[in-house]
Structure 1
Amino acid sequence: MSKKTSYLLGILLTIFIGTLLYCYLCDDCHCNPNGEAETENTNVVAEPEVIPATRNAFSISDADGDFNIKINDNFNFKTSNFSILEPISTGVTSEVVKLKDYLLANPLKDIDITGYYRSDETNSSAYPNLGLARANAVKNYLISQGIPSRQIDTHGELNDSINPDDASTLFGPLKFGIVTFEEGATDEALEAACKAIRENPLVLHFKTGEAQINLTAEQRQKIADISRCVDKLGVKVQVVGHTDNTGDAANNMTLGQGRADFGKSYLVRNGILSSNIEATSKGQTEPIADNNTEEGKAENRRTVITIN
């Protein structure tokens, strides 16, 4: 072997040994099977997207008049809930006074309230949707501040663009407007709905003490119609408790009253004012089915909700 060849082999051996030492001693790199250094792969974890909470202002304007208010505060709610969060800000209460004065001075104008709800919320109210239940909660507050119920219209609307904060609070999931009516105008749809309630009342079968009642879509709509008839026409809700003929007639009268009182409390929890509800008992005196069968008795144990 020539001296030059030995010299070249020595250089290659030095490079090879140096590479091996580098691979084993370096903390920031790795070697592949061919002895080549390679950088370590690291997984970059993306930060979760932060969705800011929606904050709707309390804003009402009249396109046909000179009324206009707008403040950053509003009526707030927890998700899947229709009770207004307390306390209501002083800014909102001050603007409500202005709204009351404006509506009282303009009896042909109504305040239009649309409550929003998300598709991922649970509707625990007796209304067709949580948005309508929220609008009715605001309606009751406005009534408590002196605004006539006949000048308040309520609606519910799905809106998945409203986002709660980290504490599950929805800030102002509502929309407001002013509607002007012609003098002498009638609401034929409302009159038809109220007539339908009188002809086909809401009938419920539930056990006293139940906190939640599973209502059908038709029953929810009836409660919404009853609430609107009360607001717009000034009628009263009549809740009547009935029993089967088991036991003493006097005791059944008391039992029927208990069912009526529970029905009333259920409606109150769902936004119909107590002063607008009359609860009475018929006991066993008005059966609608044969008391000689268990099925008939079950039908007779009922609570009937209608309007006068």
Structure 2
Amino acid sequence: MGKRLMYLLGILLTIVFGTYFSYIMCCNQEDDSVNNTSTSTATQKKVYETPTSYPFLVKDVNGNLSLNAKDNFNFEASNLNFLTPISSSLDLEIGKLKDYFSSNTDKSLSITGYYTDEETNDSAYPNLGLARANSVKNFLISKGFPSKIMNTSSELKQDMIADSLHVYHGPLAFKISELKDNTEDLDKLAKYIKDHAIELHFGSGQFKINLTLEDRQEIADIAKYLDKVDGATCIITGHTDNTGNPEINLSLGQKRANSVKEYLIKNAAIPADKIIATSKGQTEPIADNNTKEGKAKNRRTIITIK
């Protein structure tokens, strides 16, 4: 083989190997690009929104009080009851707040519960915010706070974010103000409740409770009235149609009244000792028991106050 031929062969091999290595390097860069894109996408999927956190904060701008704790009452999504136990730091601040009200009897405490419209509301209240506020209020009552000084309300917080365990951190706000005489307002509320007694209807032999939004608001009104008026009582009366034995119907009416009482205790946080459940059985029909429609109207449970 001549020198010229060897020289040409070397050039050819250089071109071939150069093309091969260029191809390999190009493919590797493309693979790295794909891998980087996949890694970036995976990283984005691991980024979670920071949960919203509302610390416990109570101030009286007209008095000598400023309480705060990093912790607060926490609630699982779609739940009206706060998680227990509460932190020791929160319990300490609540003790200070109780002492403040013991020395300042002219003050009142407003509790506002937050909620989102994405949550499922299984409470007896119009929304979970009001249910949560009442849950905390009843806890404070158990700690010695007078029920008459506390008022509850709710606020929709659509941007509120739960943590990865579906827990909302402190969805509440507290405010101190001057205690007002609301006797006239309570008298009006009592008249409204009595004029608009809640009437629940049941299928034959059934106990399932279905509340309208109006029913839920009236239950909230009843809970508020029971809190503010000494000796006030919620009366639940069960009624039936005349199908079957009168004694069995009397018992059936009582079972329905008892189920409503248990529902209000669990879902409206109304104290058991403020509810009286009774039965009239088939003795007080409001419609003709000879018709299907009349029987349906007579199978009812009435909720009002006394």
TM-score, normalisation: structure 1: 0.86
Of residues 161-170 and 234-243 in structure 1, the stretch that sits farther from structure 2 once superposed is 161-170
For 2:279, the aligned partner's letter is S
1:262 corresponds to 2:273: no
Deviation at 1:305, TM superposition (A): 0.4
Q: Please state if 1:74 is matched with 2:72.
A: yes
Which residue is 1:51 aligned to?
Answer: 49
Partner of 2:211: 215
How far did residue 133 of structure 1 move? Answer: 0.6
Alpha-carbon distance, 1:7 to partner: 11
Contact 2:108/2:177, CA 8 A, preserved across alignment: yes
CA distance in 2, matches of 1:57, 1:38: 50
Alpha-carbon deviations, 1:81-139, whole Å to 9, x = none? 11121112233223223222322333332111011112321111111111111001001
Question: Letter of the aligned partner of 1:258 in structure 2?
Answer: K
Corresponding residue number in structure 2 for 1:252: 249
Q: How does 1:112-191 map to 2 (within 5 A)?
A: 112-182=110-180, 185-186=181-182, 189-191=185-187
Instruction: Give the deviation of 1:231 after TM superposition.
Output: 1.0
Q: How many residues align?
A: 294
Q: Quick check: 1:78–1:170 contact (8 Å CA) kept in 2? A: yes
Map of 2:274 onto structure 1 = 276
Give the stretch that moved more between structures: 126-135 or 48-57.
48-57
Q: In 1, distance between residues paired with 2:182 and 2:117?
A: 34
Deviation, 1:16, is 4.0
- Contact 2:200 / 2:209 at 8 angstroms: preserved in 1? no
Equivalent position of 2:237 in the other structure = 240
Change (3 A) 1:178 1:209: farther
**In structure 1, distance between residues paired with 2:252 and 2:29:** 84
Compute the TM-score of the two structures, normalised by the length of structure 2: 0.86
CA shift digits 1:175-201 (9 cap, x unpaired): 01112135xx33655543331110110
Q: Structure 2 counterpart of 1:21, which letter?
A: Y
Distance 2:279 2:105 in 1: 38
1:33 is matched with which residue? none
Q: Tell whether 2:264 aligns with 1:290.
A: no
Higher helix proportion (structure 1 or 2): 2
State the Cα deviation string for residues 248-275 of structure 1 (Å, max 9, x = none).
2222222111111111000000111111
Paired residue for 2:20? 21
The residue type equivalent to 1:165 in the other structure is D
User: Structure 1 150/38 Cα, relative in aligned 2: closer, same or farther at 3 Å?
Assistant: closer
CA distance in 1, matches of 2:262, 2:92: 31
Gap runs ≥5 in structure 2: none
CA shift at 1:66, angstroms?
A: 1.3
Whether the aligned pair in 1 keeps the contact of 2:200 and 2:210 (CA below 8 Å) is no
Describe the shift of the 1:18–1:89 C-alpha distance in structure 2 as closer, same or farther (beyond 3 A): closer
How many angstroms apart in 2 are the aligned matches of 1:92 and 1:280?
Answer: 41
Question: Percent identity over the alignment?
Answer: 44
Secondary structure of residue in 1 paired with 2:79: coil
CA contact (8 A) 2:60 2:177 kept: yes
| RMSD between superposed Cα atoms in Å | 2.6
Using the alignment, how far apart are the partners of 2:80 and 2:199 within structure 1? Answer: 24
Give the Cα separation in 1 of the matches to 2:299 and 2:29: 81
1:214 and 1:157 map into 2 onto residues whose CA distance is 24
| Equivalent residue, structure 1, for 2:223 | 227
Secondary structure (helix, strand or coil) at the match of 1:29 reads helix
Q: Which residue of 2 aligns with 1:104?
A: 102
The one-letter code of the counterpart of 1:193 is: L
Instruction: Assess if the C-alpha contact under 8 Å between 2:52 and 2:169 holds in 1.
Output: yes
Cα drift, residue 55 of structure 1: 2.7
Q: CA offset at residue 63 of structure 1?
A: 1.6
The 2-side partners of 1:214 and 1:257 are apart by 18
